[in-house]
């Protein structure tokens, strides 16, 4: 399962990176053909890259939510739950040691 999630995450990240290169190439072509003013090209590239980053963030959040749902479905303890239990055990060990002292 984790291998599948890693592949999905890599695919999403790869799409964003390729899109950036393609965006720059397409915008350069538009400028060369005179369909876009050179002064507008940088702004357009930045806008499209920002959009790609937003999509990447949404993709990451979707993957994270799927992982959380899967882990909850498996009944595994969260890091916070383990930390809380570790703290409680340490406190109980201290109390037990105090009770065992003469």
Provide the residue ranges of all domains of the chain, joining segments of one domain with +: 2-76
Condensed to tens digits (0 to 9), the pLDDT of residues 14-65 reads 555 556 777 788 878 888 988 878 888 888 778 877 877 887 888 889 888 9
Please state the pTM of the whole predicted model: 0.50
DSSP 34-102: TSS-HHHHHHHHHHHHHHHHHHHHHHHHHHHHHHHHHHHHHTPPPHHHHHHHHHHHHHHHHHHHHHH--
Residue 13's SS3 state is: helix
Residue 2's SS3 state is: helix
Alpha-carbon span 16 to 87, nearest angstrom? 42
Backbone angles phi, psi at 23, to 5 degrees: -60, -50
């Amino acid at each position: 399962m984790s291998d599948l999630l890693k592949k999905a995450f890599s695919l999403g990240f790869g799409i964003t990176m390729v899109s950036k290169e393609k965006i720059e190439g397409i915008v350069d072509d538009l400028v060369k053909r005179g369909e876009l003013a050179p002064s507008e090209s940088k702004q357009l590239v930045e806008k499209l890259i920002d959009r790609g980053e937003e999509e990447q963030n949404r993709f990451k959040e979707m993957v994270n939510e799927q992982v959380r749902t899967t882990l909850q479905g498996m009944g595994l303890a969260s890091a916070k739950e383990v930390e809380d239990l570790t703290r409680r055990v340490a406190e109980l060990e201290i109390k037990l040691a105090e009770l065992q002292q003469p």
